[in-house]
Amino acid sequence: MAHDAAKPEVTLPAKSTWNYQPDLPLEDRSLFNLRRGPAEGLKLLWNSWLPISDRLIVVGVSILTWFYLSPSLQTARTFGFDWVVGVYLRNLILITLVAGGMHLYLYTFKMQGDRLRYDARPFHKKNALFTFSSQFLDNVFWSIASGVTVWTAYEVLGLWAYANGYMPMLDFATHPILFVLWFIFLPFYGVLHFYWIHRLLHWRPVYNYVHSLHHRNVNVGPWSGMSMHPLEHIAYLSSVLIHVVLASHPIHFIFQLQQKVLLAVTSHAGYESVTLAEDSDTGLRVGDFFHQLHHRYFECNYGEPEVPCDKWFGTFHDGSEEATARTRVRMKEMRKK
Ligand SMILES: [Zn+2]
Ligand SMILES: [Zn+2]
């Protein structure tokens, strides 16, 4: 295929490096690759959403959340213990269903065995690096104690701001096209925001105090995705502040938060896909080898593939041995500073 012929010649990692790896070197999956042309870019965009994708599921969840599991804007005009606790509990249940469900399926009952699992090493059970000396308990603790709290705080403040007219509103009836476009735009904005926040988190003083908590996890599982220091949760979820200037509906606001939280959970699954049928390699794509490389080699792949900031700023790791060597040099340089 002409497409494959264009792949650069690289040294692939030894077989023992990963239990499973996608086709390497990783391709540039960005829509912003001008050489690809608009038709190919649109096809990529289409395939990233349809026929089914984790983010399409989150759109559905956020719509249901707004209609059935959120306070009315009338209620949210003033802060009240009942509705704030209600939002906290609903978020707690959501993350537990997604992260807990995936952990049970993939790691407790091992329904897929090690099929499509990037790194087959077990999680740490007795390691003083982790809170409670356990990687699992550490990850659950930080995801819930800090993650759900900060997530809920943003959501409660947002609903209160919409209810009081402090954030500009947009509804489906008057702006149906913009209403749909925001669902496509917000994840892109989220990646751009994440890249720069993440670069800042890797600045040594901030890394040592804040981000090292997330990087305790060299091998990751669903609960690792939101296992972060409270300051990182505040920074990571601050992309929703865009709604202060962007006219949107509370559904967009809820979607953006759920997308950041629940897709952090799924993208840290440690598996390329969750499959239902035995011996099938096709299923719901969840894992992100691009970010798995970040957890293994640290100073690379700060963003996500859809907006190629890493390519633009020279921090892209395509999975090859050459990229690992480049990353190690970079890491040494950074540690000297
Ligand atoms: Zn990092
Ligand atoms: Zn991570």
Q: How far is the CA of 286 from the centre of ligand 2 (A)?
A: 13
Q: How far is the CA of 220 from the centre of ligand 2 (A)?
A: 8
22 neighbors 281 (Cβ within 8 angstroms) = no
Mean pLDDT value across residues 6-12: 78
Name the burial class of residue 23, with classes exposed (0-12), middle (13-18) and buried (19+) by CB atoms within 10 angstroms of its CB: exposed
Q: How far is the CA of 255 from the centre of ligand 1 (A)?
A: 24
**Cα angle at 170 between 153 and 50, to 5 degrees?**
85
**pLDDT tops 60 at residue 276:** yes
| Residues in contact with 44: Cβ distance below 8 Å, sequence separation at least 6, in sequence order | 29, 31, 36
324 domain residue, yes or no:
no
> What are the pLDDT digits (tens) for 288-323?
899 999 999 999 999 988 888 898 899 999 999 999
300 domain residue, yes or no:
no
> What are the pLDDT digits (tens) for 148-182?
999 999 999 999 999 999 999 999 999 999 999 99
Instruction: Indicate the residue type of 245.
Output: V
**pLDDT tops 80 at residue 124:** yes
Q: How far is the CA of 52 from the centre of ligand 2 (A)?
A: 24
Q: How far is the CA of 310 from the centre of ligand 1 (A)?
A: 13
Ligand closest to 298 (CA) is: 1
Q: How many structural domains are present in the chain?
A: 1
Ligand closest to 206 (CA) is: 1
Q: How far is the CA of 214 from the centre of ligand 1 (A)?
A: 7
What is the model's pLDDT at position 183? 95
7 pLDDT tier (thresholds 50, 70, 90): low
**pLDDT tops 90 at residue 270:** yes
Ligand closest to 292 (CA) is: 2
Cis check: omega of the bond before 51, within 30 degrees of 0: yes
Mean pLDDT of the residues in the chain: 91
Q: How far is the CA of 292 from the centre of ligand 2 (A)?
A: 7
Report d(CA 140, CA 135) in Å as an integer: 9
Mean pLDDT value across residues 107-133: 90
250 neighbors 66 (Cβ within 8 angstroms) = yes
30 domain residue, yes or no:
no
8 domain residue, yes or no:
no
Q: How far is the CA of 214 from the centre of ligand 2 (A)?
A: 7
- pTM here is 0.92
40 domain residue, yes or no:
no
Q: Residue 115 to residues 51, 104, 289: CA-CA distances in angstroms?
A: 23, 16, 14
What is the model's pLDDT at position 279? 67
**pLDDT tops 50 at residue 196:** yes
| Residues in contact with 237: Cβ distance below 8 Å, sequence separation at least 6, in sequence order | 150, 151, 154, 257, 260, 261
| Residues in contact with 254: Cβ distance below 8 Å, sequence separation at least 6, in sequence order | 62, 65, 66, 70, 155
**Cα angle at 101 between 99 and 107, to 5 degrees?**
90
Q: How many CB atoms lie within 10 A of CB 37?
A: 10
Report d(CA 137, CA 142) in Å as an integer: 9
Of 17 and 6, more confident:
17
27 pLDDT tier (thresholds 50, 70, 90): confident
What is the model's pLDDT at position 6? 59
Q: How far is the CA of 305 from the centre of ligand 1 (A)?
A: 15
**pLDDT tops 80 at residue 35:** no
What is the model's pLDDT at position 36? 74
Lowest mean pLDDT among 43-57, 190-204, 209-223: 43-57
299 domain residue, yes or no:
no
H helix intervals, the chain: 2-5, 38-49, 54-68, 81-95, 101-103, 135-141, 149-163, 176-201, 204-209, 230-236, 250-267, 289-297, 309-312, 321-336
DSSP 222: G
337 pLDDT tier (thresholds 50, 70, 90): low
**pLDDT tops 60 at residue 20:** yes
Altogether, the residues listed in the chain come to a count of 337
β-bridge partners, 117: 271
Name the residue range of residue 257's domain.
47-287
129 domain residue, yes or no:
yes
DSSP 274: E
Q: Residue 273 phi/psi, 5° resolution?
A: -145, 155
Q: How far apart are the first and last CA of the chain?
A: 45
> What are the pLDDT digits (tens) for 62-79?
999 999 999 999 999 999
Mean pLDDT value across residues 126-147: 95
121 domain residue, yes or no:
yes
**pLDDT tops 80 at residue 3:** no
